[in-house]
Amino acid sequence: MIGNTEGGLADSIIEHAADAVIFADVEGVIRVWNRAAEAIFGFTAGEAVGQSLDLIVPERLRAAHWVAFHRAMASGTTRLGGRATVTRALSKSGQPLYVDLSFAVVRGAAGRVTGSVGVARDATRRHEEEKARRAESGGRP
């Protein structure tokens, strides 16, 4: 795995996780990007590591994303408390992408905030199927 982590079991777990695992430092620079992230977003680890999270955040969502990100880095907590949410994301191909995404603030050994980890799962098909069902039912759930 390309990234800034110590070798060993933790790296192997992250690399082989079925869900995308993305770690960004306190500046929002991607430092860890696993195989599932490559599969979901289309960017290799070599393309993603060292880049801003803007790589996968749609332009229209960036201002709100960065307000929330910097608030979490300063406070040490996230608004959703680790609960997943469905959101839009950017893929290398430019295809529409929805992901179930959960975030957590990461602290180092001294307790200082070192960044944020996001865990994502492709939810595009489910989102599109739900949208089609709503359209067929006239917008009723």
| Mean pLDDT of the 36-41 span | 97
What does the DSSP 8-state code read for residue 4? S
The predicted pLDDT at position 37 comes to 98
pLDDT at 139: 64
Mean of the pLDDT values across residues 97-115? 94
Domains, the chain, ordered by start: 9-136 (3.30.450.20)
Total-model pTM: 0.85
39-84: pLDDT as tens digits: 999 999 999 999 999 999 999 999 999 999 999 999 998 887 778 8
The alpha carbon dihedral of 115, 93, 37, 60 has a sign of positive
Type of residue at 80: L
